[in-house]
Structure 1
Amino acid sequence: MNKSQGLGMLLLSLAASIWGGMFVVVKAVVTIIDPITLVWARYLVALVGLGLACHWSRLTWHIRRRDWPLLIAIGLIGNTLSIGFQETGTWLTSAQLGAVVTSATPTFIIIFAHLILKERLTGLKIGAVALATSGVLLIVGVQLTGRQTLLGAGCLIIAALTWALMSVLVKKATAYYPPLQVTTIGTAIATVCLTPIVFSQPKTLLAIPWFTPQVSLSLLYLGLISTALAFVMWNRGLQLLPASRSGVFFLLQPLVGSLLGWAFLDEALTPGFVLGTLLIIGSIWLETRFSN
């Protein structure tokens, strides 16, 4: 493992861990702001941070005409559809079911990376993903209770598929453009797409207490940390590693989410939490130790 691979693994791990913490923050505001409006608002905040970062980085904004379809697809598939379906699915069901369905994302990434990028399928990749997925299932369990619905589960499956496809497309785009630029364009496209939907219900928009500490601080975290910073980290990590190897690190998200839910929301940890954690760590060790 060289330095660039080590940096890629670190960035992917940090991004996934930040997204794990995001569930705690979302729970604090999802009863006040509906999922689609929440995604739109966090993107607006993120665009401010990303715009400043682009200005300080003095990026060159020349985009080849033939690359615009790829960049637009990233914004539509990843930033718009995947995040929108993920928030909606979690809202309709539960964070636990969301984590279970999320565990399918690495498998989808391996498939898309093989089909689109022609990355080689190996037993190590498949084994590491299977190990990490087993860990997620042990951590969150598979018992579905409460508000879980078929619609919510369907939304989460679509979210997992579209996130996997987006990750592979980002790997392709960052071969030509900086991750900061790819992230900014994708976020801008998603914001433009969501704006008509949000403004179609002006009364709901005006009724939200935007400037209360609970809402404003949550949006600052979701926009600047969970979106701007974490997306740039994830996209940079994808640039440094094969796309098919990124999925294992994505599964740190439910691990961190479960820990923070226990620490801040008094959510119980399942008996399999310790074993599940060891399996996820073991899968990352396999990736780190034996992958080229």
Structure 2
Amino acid sequence: MTQTRKPGLMSGMLALLLAAVLWGGMFPVAKAALVTLDAYWLTLVRYGSGALLFVALLAAIEGRAVLRFESRTLALWAYGTAGFAGFSILAFLGLSRSQPEHGAIILALMPLLGVLVNAVWRGVRPTPGNIAAIALALSGVALVITKGHLAALTQGGEAMADLSILAGALCWVIYTIGAQDFPGWSPLRYTALSCLMAVPSIAGITLIATLVGVAHAPSLPMLAGLTGELIYLIMFAGVVAVLAWNMGIKRVGASGVLFINFVPVTALIIGWFQGHRLSIAELAGALIVMVALVLGNLGRRPTARMPQSTLCHCNASE
């Protein structure tokens, strides 16, 4: 008998792979940019530009009528601030003192973190398989962060930087699950308007950080020197990756979340070519995280799934 294929399945899988590869490349690119530009200003430049691009896309694709906030301004601001300000600033602060490969591996935890947040926030009880997968994933991340030496968790340095990335990932998960409060809204609409509402928060945090000397305003020549990195972070890891991810999830379904495994794989391959060599403990931890994600996806409840809208755009706005 011939097997019927879901229409668009192959194109959906290719779109998910493209998004994951672009997000995997985001970490080494952002790491390079952070040598010159601090996390606060990098976030402001990235999402200030990204918000305008997404709003323009939204108007072009769905029409100007959907640019209305419909009395959801406060919710959009809160979720947008958590996702774009919280995720990006915390993740970039951590990445500036850690390795790109670590950031990508921690990012792969997002679907499992979503199960935890759903349980606490929405009251969706995780299955025993979910719980086992989360415990397994956290043990893998602990191996990556500590390089097999658990005492490193209390010694600051790179371990604390990785925990900052983890906190940022949690912020993005909260933002992602917040999309459930906008039934009837397309992923693009939620992304564009929440990103737009997050810009004042990012600007305010950046201004305060600059005034107290934690952040430093870049000059125009400095930004010009980062043209390649900014184009990648805004356009490719942002707009292209997010649209590809949304399209892929729509065509493949919830199981498409497994493609998030290609994010750390891509980062690890890029790191290898750049001369980065991870320890056996770090590689083992990465493998454990990816296995846990597969097991967690197989054992999750349908009602606990994360919405298609922003499942990990880490990167630029979903």
TM-score bracket, normalised by the shorter chain, equals 0.7 to 0.9
| Pair 1:188-2:196 in alignment | yes
Among 53, 56, 61, which residue is 2:57 paired with?
53
User: 1:168 aligned to 2:181?
Assistant: no
Counterparts of 1:42-191 in structure 2, within 5 Å, are: 42-59=46-63, 60-61=65-66, 63=68, 65-95=70-100, 98=103, 102=107, 105-133=110-138, 141-143=147-149, 144=152, 148=157, 152=161, 155-173=164-182, 175-191=183-199
- Structure 2: gaps of 5 or more residues: 303-318
The percent of aligned pairs where both chains have the same amino acid is 22
* 1:27 aligned partner: 31
Letter in 1 for 2:39: P
Contact 2:59 2:67 (8 Å CA) reproduced: no
CA distance in 2, matches of 1:246, 1:66: 33
Higher mean alpha-carbon deviation, 23-32 vs 247-256, is at 247-256
Instruction: State the number of aligned residues.
Output: 285
TM-score by length of structure 1 reads: 0.75
Q: Structure 1's 76 and 246: CA in aligned 2 closer, same or farther, altered over 3 A?
A: farther
Counterparts in 2 of 1:281 and 1:251: CA distance versus 1, 3 Å: closer
Q: Structure 1: which amino acid aligns with 2:167?
A: I
The AA in structure 1 aligned to 2:176 is S
Q: What is residue 240 of structure 2 aligned with on the other side?
A: 229
CA–CA separation in structure 2 for the residues paired with 1:70 and 1:236? 25
Structure 1 range deviating more: 105-114 or 181-190: 105-114
Query: For residues 138 and 209 of structure 1, what CA distance do their matches in structure 2 show?
Result: 37
Work out whether 1:38 is the aligned partner of 2:42: yes
Displacement of 1:281: 5.3
Matches of 1:261 and 1:21, distance apart in 2: 10
How large is the RMSD of aligned CA atoms in angstroms?
4.1
CA distance in 2, matches of 1:133, 1:16: 21
Instruction: Name the amino acid aligned to 2:241.
Output: A
Q: TM-score, normalised by structure 2?
A: 0.70
2:264 aligned partner: 254
In structure 2, relative to structure 1, the CA distance for the partners of 1:154 and 1:271 (3 Å cut) is closer
Q: Indicate yes or no: 2:231 matched with 1:220.
A: yes
Structure 2 distance, partners of 1:193, 1:275, is 38
Deviation at 1:211, TM superposition (A): 1.9
TM-fit CA distance, 1:251 = 5.2
Question: What are structure 1's unaligned runs of at least 5 residues?
Answer: none
